[in-house]
Every structure is written in structure tokens, then in C-alpha cells.
Amino acid sequence: MKNYAAEIITIGNEILSGYTINTNASFISQEMLKIGLPVQWVTTISDTADEILFALEKADQRADVTLVTGGLGPTPDDITKNTICNFFDTGLTEDKNVLNHVRNLLKHRGLDMLESNIAQAMVPETATIIPNPIGTAPGLFMRKNEHYFFFMPGVPSEMKRLITEHIIVHIKEGLDLPEVRNHLIRTTGIAESRLYELLRESIEENPDIPIAFLPRHIGVDLRFRLISDDANQIDRYVKFISKVRSLAGKFIFTEQDIELEERLGQLLTEKKLSLSIAESFTGGMISDLITNIPGSSAYLLGSAVTYSNESKMKTLGVLSKTLEQFGAVSEETVTEMVRGIQKYFKADCAIATTGIAGPTGATETKPVGLCYIAARYGEKETVREFHFGTDRIINKRRGATAALEMLRRLLLDIH
């Protein structure tokens, strides 16, 4: 079994200018890693013949598979395709299928066929065409000896379809790739260093089983990957994941590729429960996250963003003496908020947040980042105090995550 390596070449000035982030490379890298073909080089260059030729030559020397995005648009002077022909020592020819497809696609969009569109049907003679159902530029598959080259348009949605529907198939058919096992565990509410300490012994007992710690805004992802045909190693891989699962325990909110708000939506749906939300600190972010999930209207009855004291009293029934005595940012107020919003909507569950998101608004006793969050499920209730940082948007994000996680634990009776 050979160890294969891939290179990504991104062609385009919009990436070099910095105003477009190279998310294409990120997507392709992840997809290749899943099939056991790690990307070792990502090269971004401008759309000029010299640069393209040099990058192709370099990739040919070091990689087994090269994936090129960009440079295939309907521009009049098609530098990329001519350079490809030069590199592969071939010429351009018209492909009737591509021409028909372009004509139909434009017709469907109510557009006329332009000369530049006709030019898109000109493809290198020795290329295998990869159909692009949603765009006018086809993908190209070409070989140089044992080296595979794939050329794709730079439009992310088109590139993604070519990769997942065709290119992965071509690569798997052609190369003797190793069998890869992937597993994902998503955690929240624990810092990377503490999580590492929890798992350290198990990790050290399994030095040959790769585990990656990937910190995100809302928590730490653990990604496991095993490339092996050895039954004993595979067995230890499965046991290692089990061990991590039991050690990380309550911090794990899912082992699927979904976010915390979607996990919470699954739980609410399974248990047939309704939800209402009162947001001060988070200013609507929790509601926004919850309603990103299709079907959330089945459990979200409604939310109130109560930025003013008046709105806390009027909608949530927070008492004026509570606000006077303890202030809007207090355990007492958030408790009345969560009870108030549950009652207002007659909801099974409720979440409430209050705090000082910053950068202004701090008082002598209440610093920026101070936050109180409450969650309720029926009569069960948890209230917690948090001390976040000074960045307003990160504070909102951390508060929203903590609130969702508190309700998840309450629903699952996790302490």
C-alpha cells in the first residue's frame, strides 16, 4: 500500500487580493483526508500562463493527485485551458455534449448563447469531461503517467458537486487507497487543555491512533482517524473511542456533524417539548441559532429580546424591586426572566440570559463579561454565573452556547 499525497492549486486574483477567502481549498482538503489522500500543498497563484505552468510542473514532481480550481470561467482569453494543453501536449477540440449542455442551461435561464459560452465547449483533446450540471464550465480529468489532474471551476457550489459526485469516484477507482476510519466527537463547556488532561492517559496508551483536538468558538472537536488494515489496531481504535466517550462524558453534545442548536432541536422534537427564550446579554443570537434549524417552528413558541428594564418588567414580569435591589444583571433577575418567559408562552422549556456584553456598560461591581444564564424544563431549573471576556460578539457567542448547553443537560438530567 502506497502513501499518496495531493496538491491543491487555486488560480485567481480574488483569492490573492484577500477579499475572497479560500474556502474551496478547505473543503477539498477535508474530503481528500476522509478518503485517505492527505493534501500536502496548497498553492494560490494568479491567472497567468507562466504561473500556471510552473505550478503544474511542480505539482507533477511531488504529488500523486492535483486538484485545480478557478481559471475556467467564460472569460474571452482562456489562459488556463491553453496552458493545460501546453502542459499535456495536446490541443483544444469542441465537445458536442458540453455545447448542448451550455445551450440548454442558458436557455433555461432565459439567456442568449454568447461567443464566450461557445468557447466553454472547447476542451483539451485528451481530457475526460466531468459534467457540471449547475454551471457552464465542465470539469476536466487528465493524466500524466500515473499522476491524476482534476480541473474545476472556482464557483464553490459547482466545485463541491464535481468533487463529491465524480472526482472522489475517479480517485477511489484509480488509486489503491488505504481504508480510512473517521470519527467525530464534539464537546462544549471544557477548555482544550483540561480536555487534554482528562484524556492524556488514554492518548499516551494509544500513540499510534491519531486524535486531533480542534478548538472552535463553541467548544473543542475531537477527530479520530485510522488508516490501517490491522484487525488488532482497528479493535484498539474502537476501544479508544469508547474510552474517550466515557472520559469526556457530559461535555460531549454529539458525535454527528451537527451543531449544538441542532442537537437541542433533536432532543426537543424527540421529547415533544416546546421552548421559549428571553435574551438580554445574547441580544437575539440564541433565537437566531435555534431558527437556523429547519422545522424549529415546531418547538420554538417565541422569544423576547428584552434590552430595557421596561421590557423585562412588561413582558417577563420581572419585579421592579428585584431590578432596584439586585440590578438587571443578577441571578435574581435572570431567574425571574426565565420563569416569566416560560409562563408568557406556556412553554415546557425556557432559557434566559442577562449580562454586560461590553465593551461599555461596566459598573464598579459588575465588569464587562459578567453574565447570568438560566434554563428551565418544567419545574426543574438551573442558574449559573459566567465571567466571559471583553469582546462583545465573542461574549454573545459564548453566552448563547452556554445557554443551549445548560438546557441540553437539563433535558438529559446531566449534572
For residues 226-245, which are near a second copy according to CB under 8 A?
Answer: none
Residues 6 or more apart whose Cβ sits within 8 Å of residue 321: none
> Least distance (Å) from a second copy to the CB of residue 315?
7
Q: Report the residue from 103, 144, 160, 223 that binds a second copy according to the rule CB under 8 A.
A: 223
Beta strands in 269-369 (DSSP E): 275-279, 300-305, 349-355
Q: Which is nearer to a second copy, 46 or 128 (CB)?
A: 46
Q: From the list 100, 256, 292, 320, which residue makes contact with a second copy (rule: CB under 8 A)?
A: 292
Could you list the beta-strand ranges (E) of 268-361.
Answer: 275-279, 300-305, 349-355
* Positions in 242-281 near a second copy (CB under 8 A): 277, 279
Q: Which is nearer to a second copy, 86 or 309 (CB)?
A: 309
Binders of a second copy among residues 26 to 65 (CB under 8 A) are: 26-33, 38-46, 51
**Does 104 contact a second copy by CB under 8 A?**
no
User: Is residue 307 a contact point for a second copy (CB under 8 A)?
Assistant: yes
Can you list the alpha helix ranges (DSSP code H) found in 45-167?
49-62, 79-88, 96-108, 115-119, 156-162
Site for a second copy in 330-369 (CB under 8 A): 344-345, 357-361
User: Nearer Cβ to a second copy, position 127 or 260?
Assistant: 260
Between 98 and 280, name the residue whose CB sits nearer to a second copy: 280
In 3D, which of 127, 125, 49 has the Cα closest to residue 82? 49
Decide whether 230 or 310 has the Cβ nearer to a second copy. Answer: 310
How far is 320 from 331, CA to CA, in rounded Å?
15
- Which residues between 6 and 25 bind a second copy (CB under 8 A)? 10, 14-23, 25
Tell me the site size for a second copy, rule CB under 8 A: 73
Q: How far apart are CA 192 and CA 231, in angstroms?
A: 31
Count of Cβ atoms closer than 10 Å to residue 359 Cβ: 11
Does position 305 interact with a second copy (CB under 8 A)? The reply is yes
Site for a second copy in 193-222 (CB under 8 A): 212, 214, 221
Lookup: cell for 365 = 461591581
CA distance 303 to 357: 19
